[in-house]
Copies of this chain bind each other. A is one copy, B any other.
Amino acid sequence: MASYEVKLLGTLLSPFVIRAKIALNLKSVEHEFMEVGIFAKKSDLFLKSNPVHKKMPILIHGDRPICESLIIVQYIDKVWASGPVILPSDPYDRAIARFWAAYLDDKWFRRIRAIILSQGEEAKKAALEDGIHGLVLLEEAFTKCSKGEKFFGGDKIGYLDIALGCFLVWVRVIEIMANVSLIDESTTPQLFKWAQDFCVDDAVKDVLPETDKLMEFVQFNYVAKLKSRL
């Protein structure tokens, strides 16, 4: 068996692992994908590689681990600099892409998750409103970032495409489970179109999990585990 110089540890049920995987695909980096369940007992390699957070994804390059999905994406962009550019090269565009990516992780995904995780209708309704408000902000950001092209990153998938796109199947699952509409043609027409283009991109299409598979995981495992921790 070939021993790869690059390994990615995690599962594609995790949106954060999806980010790293898409970045590797964009740059055509040969790598070994080492499947690790979200709630599975972690291997010694895993724990040794991310002793602080004990979280996926972990990229191992040679014998050096890199953790945290957006840091991994930036690392891949810098190391395999000859491939397509992931971060915008203009400093201001780069700052704006980083701003929205941080917003997704610090605020938006928590609110989206809360649509199915919160206790009580009031809390769920508030989470839904916040989640949709965030998408409206991102719709506006799309106009500025894409400059008339298909993606936030222009004519090719870039940093913010990866940062948001990794959540698309999660969004779909939450839409079905909570019987709500998040990304739709009337409220966020540009994101609606963007999502379609993103999902069929060569670097993405085999990475995103099937909706049914993710739904099963979320319904029977994720929600129960997380609620027990609340």
A-to-B contact residues, CB < 8 Å: 52, 61, 64, 66-68, 71-72, 74-75, 78-79, 91-92, 94-95, 98-99, 102-103, 137
Interface of A is mostly: helix
B52 near A137 with CB under 8 A, answer: yes
Residues of B within 8 A of A95 (CB): 66, 71-72, 74-75
Quote the shortest CB–CB distance from A70 to chain B (angstroms): 8
Residues of B within 8 A of A78 (CB): 91, 94
Residues of B within 8 A of A67 (CB): 99
27 A–B contacts from the bound complex (CB under 8 Å): A52-B99, A52-B103, A52-B137, A61-B92, A64-B92, A66-B92, A66-B95, A66-B99, A67-B99, A68-B98, A68-B99, A68-B102, A71-B95, A71-B98, A71-B99, A71-B102, A72-B95, A74-B94, A74-B95, A74-B98, A75-B91, A75-B92, A75-B94, A75-B95, A78-B91, A78-B94, A79-B91
Residues of B within 8 A of A102 (CB): 68, 71
